[in-house]
Amino acid sequence: MREIYKKIPELIGAEQVGAYCTVVETKGSTPQKSGAKLLILPDLRNIGTLGGGCVEAEARRQAIGLMQDGTPRLLEFQLDSDYGWDDGLICGGNMKIFIDIPKTDTDADIFTQLQQLNAAKVPLVYATVVRSEQHNTYVGMKMIFASNGERIGTLGNTKLEADVESQMIKILEKNRADIFQLNDDTTIFLEPLQPRPTLLIAGAGHVGQALCHLGNWLDFDIVIIDDRADFASYERLPEADEIIIGDIAEELGKYPKNHLTYVVIVTRGHQHDESALHSVVESDARYIGLIGSRRKIKLIFEDLLEIGIPKEKLQRVYAPIGLDINSKTVPEIAVSIASQLIQVRNNENGEQTYEDLPARMPSIKI
């Protein structure tokens, strides 16, 4: 998604035309849900996907045709025998896909501002008019409604904009793209864009390096902390957004942490792990994970309990870290950790159930 938002202003600046396709509504069983995106470049390469299969192929065919005249269009697909998978399987649902042809300076500004707000960790709702029976000129108009009060772009009608703004809090709370229908005449696609979470990795060793790669791919902002400049370098960690070199526990303690922060502790030794955990265990981080054997973790927890860290704070810690997939190699360990990060991030209500400490420990052996 971030790659698409970055590419659109670049195309417009180079006076090139691409087709920006978004799934705006689904019913029943479909290969993708609302918010799935595909950008078709001028050389007809793709960024993103609408789910593959015949639907994507047909949407792509029509989008390429629209690149010539620049007219946005809302397409509807019934996933029956005409639009099944290439292997003959039929989903049986319904998909609406909006094809936009962003080409104006206003379009470029919208996507540039969207990236800037997202980088600044500002929640926002991105609204697009995808259908308007009485005012066809509204179709394709876009507007950003940011939680900090900024309003960028236009939907062509101030009353329409006020009606959409009234939905902003609800859309952000649901954190799910949705359709807003106005008087059966105008349809607005409302897409919440929550700030990217930060994956704060303590330790730039082999596991930290592998997790840096996976975390970037999974749409985390990556920050790595280590006290070894030869390990903590952009040559070894090209996907990192920020590298901090210094005392691990001290830098972890200073780094701002909130509900968008996921802390992974994978340092090179017991003492570093313990001091790192001590510096973050009472923070508001959404996730804290600690690598190590059951014995090592038990010793660390006992030490922290002795110095007054409440038991309920330690019960927040995922330790040993990662889902139990019987991982052995560094890439497998990184995959197990990344899987757990996804599991926590996609838990919409953010609730966690804590049991007694020993019972919570998965059986992954590092």
Over residues 234-289, the pLDDT tens digits come to: 999 999 999 999 999 999 999 999 999 999 999 988 889 999 999 999 999 999 99
The answer, yes or no, to whether residue 70 has pLDDT greater than 90, is: no
CB 97 within 8 A of CB 115: no
Residues 24-65: tens digit of each pLDDT: 998 887 778 889 999 999 999 999 998 877 888 889 999 999
127, 197, 265 from 226: Cα distances, Å: 41, 20, 11
The answer, yes or no, to whether residue 6 has pLDDT greater than 70, is: yes
The answer, yes or no, to whether residue 327 has pLDDT greater than 50, is: yes
The answer, yes or no, to whether residue 350 has pLDDT greater than 60, is: no
Residue 210 belongs to what H/E stretch?
A: helix 206-217
pLDDT, position 52: 78
227 phi and psi, to 5 degrees? -100, 5
Mean pLDDT, residues 51-80 taken together: 86
Average per-residue pLDDT for the chain = 88
CA dihedral 165, 166, 169, 171 (to 10 degrees): -80
pLDDT, position 94: 84
Residues 6+ positions from 188 with CB-CB distance below 8 Å: 127, 128, 129, 130, 155, 160, 164, 179, 180, 181, 182
**What is the share, in percent, of the chain residues with pLDDT greater than 90?**
70
pLDDT, position 229: 95
355: confidence class by pLDDT, cuts 50, 70, 90: very low
Check the CA dihedral 288-291-294-295 and report its sign: negative
Tracing tokens 């001590």 back to the chain, one arrives at 278
pLDDT, position 128: 96
Residues 85-136: tens digit of each pLDDT: 444 445 567 889 999 999 999 999 999 999 999 889 899 999 999 998 877 7
CB 123 within 8 A of CB 193: yes
The answer, yes or no, to whether residue 354 has pLDDT greater than 50, is: no
Mean pLDDT, residues 73-96 taken together: 67
**What is the share, in percent, of the chain residues with pLDDT greater than 70?**
91
How many whole angstroms separate alpha carbon 45 and alpha carbon 66?
A: 16
The answer, yes or no, to whether residue 365 has pLDDT greater than 60, is: no
Check the CA dihedral 323-325-331-333 and report its sign: positive
Residues 288-317: tens digit of each pLDDT: 999 998 999 999 999 999 999 999 999 999
Provide the residue type at 255 as one letter: Y
Q: Which of 30-34, 192-196, 240-244, 334-338 has the lowest mean pLDDT?
A: 30-34
Check the CA dihedral 83-87-88-92 and report its sign: negative
Residue 68 belongs to what H/E stretch?
A: helix 53-69
pTM above 0.85, yes or no: no
Q: Which domains are present in the chain?
A: 7-100 (no CATH), 105-193 (no CATH), 198-360 (3.40.50.720)
pLDDT, position 29: 75
pLDDT, position 20: 96
